[in-house]
Amino acid sequence: MSQYPLIIDVQTLNDHLIDDNLLIIDLCKRELYKANHIPGAVHFDYGHIIKVEKPVMGLVPDDAHLQTVFSALGISSTTHVVAYDDEGGGKACRLLWTLELAGHHKVSLLNGGIFAWANNGLPLEQHQNHPIPASFELYKDTSVIATLDYLQSRLNEPEIQILDARSVAEYRGSKNFAQKGGHIPGAIHYEWTDAMDRNNNLCLLPMEQLQATLAEKGFDRDKTIVTYCHSHHRSSFSYYLLKAAGFRQVKGYAGSWSEWGNHPQTPVEMAAD
């Protein structure tokens, strides 16, 4: 198998565990990784791909840092990365999105993460695996990222839509983690966990159902969709949801609400209960 789907199911991954070009990255809590993980998976600390400049929490580290981190992880131009976590995919997707930003597009999300794997009776191991360093060549792909300036200059453009992946309370402004509450003007709310099947290990709901929901909410495949949450953690999952659903022009706003909601010159909207 030379290519893998963007969203890979546990059975398919199990069938290809020994593929030479496959690197499985575990972003679960370290204690959980030590107790049980997918055979061959290496553990990765989420903090290595996040830059904090308070109050902004989810910025992207500089290129040199990312190149060092991804080289140490053992990612080369031929590596296909499959990432998973223990929360439905937020951390895993932020890693994959960061890889895409760094020019590496051979990535997949394991649908349902470690719980889908374990609950399907697939093999687990306790041996801690250590990555074999490689030479990662970074080629910045800015097509996957939206910046503060990008959004400010395009708020009124009809070709741009914005997906707010936060909770209803955050979107409405009744719950707030920044100086300002509310949401980016015009943003459409679609909480990231609403795309998950809570009765099936937080796997994605059936794609036909997700596509219908996205259409009902007004998302247009011919437009550019920008996803955000508070630190582009939850909204990284939404980014891959959109891509898996057939949207081709998708960007993630790394600064998200921790930047927008703390900036003195950004407009906000509030939603009624």
Strand intervals (E) in 29-111: 42-43, 51-53, 56-59, 80-84, 107-110
Secondary structure, 3-state, 21-42:
CEEEEECCCHHHHHHCECCCCE
CB 130 within 8 A of CB 42: yes
The span from the CA of 255 to the CA of 263, in Å, is: 11
Which of 21, 42, 44 lies closest to 95, judged by CA? Answer: 44
Return the DSSP state at 45: -
Instruction: Tell me the three state secondary structure of residue 59.
Output: strand
**Residues of the chain by 3-state class (helix, strand, coil), percent to 5:** 35, 20, 50
Whether 93 is a known active-site residue: answer no
| Active-site pick, 28, 93, 203, 229 | 229
C-alpha 261/C-alpha 93 separation (Å) is 23
User: How many C-beta atoms lie closer than 10 Å to residue 56's C-beta?
Assistant: 21
d(CA 130, CA 139): 25
- Which positions are annotated as active-site residues? 229
